[in-house]
């Protein structure tokens, strides 16, 4: 039974949770001012993401038929009437004050419910869900049936404005990451054959992350005589192609694929690395970053980062102050930026300190949750006086 003094928010997350959605878990677990219920269609990794107030929707017996029909028509499979009724039952039982749907593309599927719900309705956009895959007609339906949109970066706010969303219906809700309890700025050891430059990239292996550019930049450094070692943490559809590229570039002795690392393991390993790289780019389908979580975590631990002037990244990384930015995902630019940084130990240490300070000031989990709770209050105050009958 919820605390009667706390308003209830029901959050819909289609899959709770895939490993790359750790930032969502940090949010739902961090909420203090509200009682939060999570509704999901698919439960995954309960050992990584335990959560008590979770309702698993029962699937309609007609869902397979519906999937076939909508797939044949080239449409998203919408929430069934059976699932809509379950949503209404939970929301009524818990006397929810607001509804929060994670990811814009999933909100399109939930439109059959959103059209009927009179409580304040909030949708979070994280990056890929604002690509070309979200069609204009779909967004217009969300605009009609959603009250408030949350975005992770100012660049995503601009994308919503470009689609015609009124500015008063957009609020910034940045990602929050943990910070070490004790921090000492990094210093760089002498680089040589016995102690190579240690570089990390941690992400899903997909096109917008620029992993092929990272591999090519490491090859450039090696060809310039720099002893270098790259670790790639993660997995994804591009992995076979990346392994082929490692072979084509003769990087077998410089590159290690670590596989997926759970977050606690990744944070424990961060101090082993000298640089964190993330040459993000916009894909042909319009897929782009919000602000990469792993980049924020590297900065929190004082690992100097080298990334691109892409999407929300310049909102956290200020070139030559708390990190390094290149104009676009280019191997020569990336190799040069890395080489220049490690050639200047004092500059390297200053960037390490400044990166940590940036995360401490603006991107902690507590600040992220505080921002989300403020958005809930805003939505309830502005749109919460409707007749729910």
In this chain, the answer to whether the domains covering 8-176+365-383 and 197-362 adopt an identical fold is yes
Cα torsion 117, 71, 286, 202: sign? positive
Spell out the residues 6+ positions from residue 92 whose beta carbon is closer than 8 angstroms to its own: none
Check whether 1 has a pLDDT greater than 50. Answer: no
How would you list the strands of the sheet with 121-125, edge to edge?
54-56, 35-40, 8-12, 98-102, 121-125, 148-151, 170-172
Instruction: Give CA 334 to chain center in angstroms.
Output: 23
- Residue 320 CA to residue 341 CA, distance in Å, equals 9
Could you read off the pLDDT of 243-284 as tens digits, one per residue?
A: 999 999 999 999 999 999 999 999 999 999 999 999 999 988
Pair of tokens at residue 230: 């790259």
Could you read off the pLDDT of 15-38 as tens digits, one per residue?
A: 999 988 999 999 999 999 999 999
* Domain boundaries of the chain, sorted by first residue: 8-176+365-383, 197-362
Could you read off the pLDDT of 51-103 as tens digits, one per residue?
A: 999 999 998 776 765 666 657 666 677 899 999 999 999 999 999 999 999 99
Q: What is the pTM of this model?
A: 0.91
Residue 72: which H helix or E strand, with range? helix 63-72
- Residue 314 CA to residue 339 CA, distance in Å, equals 21
Determine the topology of domain 8-176+365-383 in CATH.
Rossmann fold (3.40.50)
Q: What does the radius of gyration of the chain's CA atoms come to, in whole angstroms?
A: 22
Could you read off the pLDDT of 211-226 as tens digits, one per residue?
A: 999 999 999 999 999 9
Determine the topology of domain 197-362 in CATH.
Rossmann fold (3.40.50)
Strand partners, 170: 149
Q: How far is CA 225 from CA 192, 199, 266, in A?
A: 9, 16, 29
Q: 228 by DSSP, 3-state: which?
A: strand
Let me know: does 15 contact 40? Beta carbons within 8 Å: yes
Q: 151 by DSSP, 3-state: which?
A: strand
């Amino acid at each position: 039974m919820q605390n009667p003094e706390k308003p209830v928010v029901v959050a819909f997350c289609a899959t709770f949770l895939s490993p790359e959605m750790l930032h969502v878990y940090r949010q739902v677990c961090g909420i203090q001012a509200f009682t939060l219920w999570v509704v999901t269609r698919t439960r995954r990794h309960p050992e990584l993401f335990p959560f008590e107030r979770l309702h698993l929707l029962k699937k309609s017996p007609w869902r397979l038929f519906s999937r076939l029909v909508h797939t044949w028509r080239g449409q998203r499979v919408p929430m069934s009437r059976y699932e809509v009724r379950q949503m209404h039952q939970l929301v009524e039982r818990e006397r929810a004050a607001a509804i929060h749907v994670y990811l814009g593309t999933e909100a399109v599927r939930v439109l059959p419910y959103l059209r009927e719900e009179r409580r304040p309705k909030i949708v979070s956009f994280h990056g890929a869900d604002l690509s070309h895959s979200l069609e204009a007609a779909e967004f217009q339906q969300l605009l009609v049936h959603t009250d408030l949109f949350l975005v992770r970066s100012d660049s995503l706010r601009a994308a919503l404005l470009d689609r015609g969303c009124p500015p008063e219906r957009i609020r910034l809700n940045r990602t929050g990451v943990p910070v070490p309890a004790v921090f000492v700025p990094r210093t760089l050891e002498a680089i040589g054959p016995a102690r190579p430059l240690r570089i990390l990239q941690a992400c899903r292996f997909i096109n917008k992350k620029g992993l092929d550019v990272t591999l090519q930049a490491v090859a450039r450094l090696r060809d310039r005589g720099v002893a270098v070692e790259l670790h790639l943490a993660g997995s994804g559809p591009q992995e076979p192609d990346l392994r082929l590229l490692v072979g084509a570039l003769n990087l077998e002795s410089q590159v290690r694929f670590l596989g997926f690392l759970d977050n606690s393991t990744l944070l424990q390993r961060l101090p082993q690395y000298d640089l964190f790289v993330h040459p993000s780019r916009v894909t042909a389908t319009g897929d782009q970053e919000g602000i990469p979580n792993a980049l924020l975590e590297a900065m929190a631990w004082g690992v100097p980062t080298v990334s691109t002037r892409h999407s929300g990244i310049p909102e956290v990384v200020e070139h030559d102050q708390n990190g390094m930015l290149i104009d676009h995902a280019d191997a020569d630019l990336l190799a040069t930026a890395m080489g220049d940084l490690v050639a200047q130990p004092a500059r390297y240490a200053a960037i390490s300190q400044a990166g940590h300070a940036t995360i401490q000031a603006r991107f902690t989990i507590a600040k992220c949750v505080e921002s989300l709770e403020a958005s809930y209050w805003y939505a309830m105050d502005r749109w919460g006086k409707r007749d729910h009958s």
